[in-house]
Amino acid sequence: MRDLELALVASLLCCALFIWRRSSPSALPLPPGPKINWFGSVSNIPKVRPWLIYGGPWKETFGDLIYIQIFGNPILVVNSATAAADLLEKRGAKYSSRPVRTMVVDLIGWDWLASSFPYGSKWQKHRIMFHRHLPANESSTKYHPLQIQEARILCRRLLDSPVDFRHHVRNAAATIVLRMAYGQSVDTNDYVPLADKALSSLAQAGIFGTFLVDYIPILKYAPSWFTFKRKALEWRIPTRAMRDLPFAKVKEHIAQGKGSDCIVSQELEKLSCDSGSKEGENTVANVSATMFAAGADTVVSTLSACFLVMSLYPDIQAKAQADLDAVLAQRRLPNFNDRSQLPFIDYICYELLCAKIAYCSASFSLNFVQTMATSDAPWACTLYLRSEEDEYRGFRIPKGTTANQVLPNVWSILHDPETYPDPLTFNPWRFENTSNGLNPFPDPAFGFGRRFCPGKHLAFDTLWIVVASTLAVFSITKETDANGQIKEPTTEFTPHLLSHPLPFGCTITPRSSNARELILESDL
């Protein structure tokens, strides 16, 4: 069986190589990149945390633009904010589509994920619906009460079982988007585990090229006993259920006269008034499920990592708590009206978004951009399809095909020392003085051009209220063993598309008896 797989793959590679070698050259050179072998591939393509290689040694060798070929499929890695803005924003008409993601979309069943849609009328209809509920240029105060409520529920859960903080953070983030999208019709306890199973497949298969079928789409017709086909069939079940089950539950409750106010019920009511179609219902189901997928995982890693960085940097925690005490006088928990008086909480959130925390060898680096990009996939998995031949900086960028991709390396952009001095240090104070032109809100974390993340303000608001609420009442320190010796937490992250901190320990305790009372007496 294994021999048959290898024989089929070899045959398809030969066909791809033949087509590639017959392609007509252009007068302009391609951007620089590593050498290509006779298979039409870069032989030393990094497999684990490639953003570090692309933005590190390869950037030093090749520059802001790196041209890579894998089985004849060209990929352009963009390592600078200037190049990303020039291509993805100023030339948005050419760089606003998405390539075909064969493994993720066709086989696993993420064809409902709106962020993966090619540019066109279908994508635009979904985008309009997103913006109806998530304003593009401002926070939506409509969801602030829900976010405050879940932040306070999170504090109570941390008080009861602090060791389970990661689980509590996941529940808080997922509940916010579940209530927004589906209202009271769905039970968080039912759908958070379902989301975990579905998103696990996206985490493992989401980085383009993880499976050979991404480069050679015809492999999707391979027999079902191929290893990748078996995985896809297994992953497809929770992926489809994540879209269909909560949506069906809301429709059932509406039919029973028990529907609650939510995005799905509002959109279905609008459809009934407008003589909606099956296509319209599919749009509603896709948008609500995309919101759920984004909120159920993307903010979670950053919030989890906040506990890590607070335990590692007590001076940052002390500064934040001093500011909170000055505003709240330890008499209440924070709300969004306090934000203008708590700029340092903003700075902490900005720095988390700028991806500065996790050790890579001995350096404090890595990133959280991988998980904060809500509706736009992270770093170089934010795929931008070139719709026509282009020229940039004297280089030729070929016309887009299913695998001709532009991959903005957000890790490299947010670690540029020209913009972020000493970029490998977690330093919220860098945002205190923005006279140097530093944009205090790290927009690259949320995508580029027409494909920017529509949920970026919602994500930031959730991050802000949880960070402010937990720091107001809890002290977060490193874990100790039975002998009272400090246990240094691990600072490694998973190397997947949806990257999370590896399990680490910390001690979470109320700052005082008064803080405990504030948690227990807070309105929910």
At 67, list the tokens.
């041209």
Give the whole-angstrom CA distance, residue 143 versus residue 78.
35
Residue 445, by phi and psi: left (phi above 0), alpha (psi -120 to 50) or beta?
alpha
Class of residue 10 by CB neighbours under 10 A (exposed 0-12, middle 13-18, buried 19+): exposed
Is the C-alpha dihedral spanning 494, 102, 136, 285 positive or negative?
A: negative
Give the whole-angstrom CA distance, residue 95 versus residue 118.
11
At 472, list the tokens.
């107001």
Closest CA to 220 of 199, 205, 203: 205
CB 119 within 8 A of CB 450: yes
Give the whole-angstrom CA distance, residue 150 versus residue 152.
5
* DSSP per-residue letters across 54-108: HTTHHHHHH-SEEEEEETTEEEEEE-SHHHHIIIIITTTTTS-B----IIIIIII
Give the whole-angstrom CA distance, residue 407 versus residue 325.
43
CB 116 within 8 A of CB 105: yes
Give the whole-angstrom CA distance, residue 388 versus residue 307.
45
The count of other CB atoms within 10 Å of the CB of residue 477 is: 16
Is the C-alpha dihedral spanning 321, 326, 328, 334 positive or negative?
A: negative
453 annotated among ligand-binding-site residues = yes
At 319, list the tokens.
């500064």
Largest CA distance in the chain: 75
The letter for the amino acid at 74 is P
CB 430 within 8 A of CB 436: no
Give the whole-angstrom CA distance, residue 381 versus residue 374.
12
Strands 486-487 and 395-397: unpaired
* DSSP per-residue letters across 408-446: E-HHHHTT-TTTSSSTTS--GGGGT--TT---SS-GGGG
Q: What phi and psi values does residue 201 have, to the nearest 5 degrees? A: -70, -40
At 316, list the tokens.
């940052």
State the Cα torsion 220-221-225-228 to the nearest 10°.
-10
Residue numbers in the known binding site are: 453
Residue numbers in the known binding site for heme are: 453
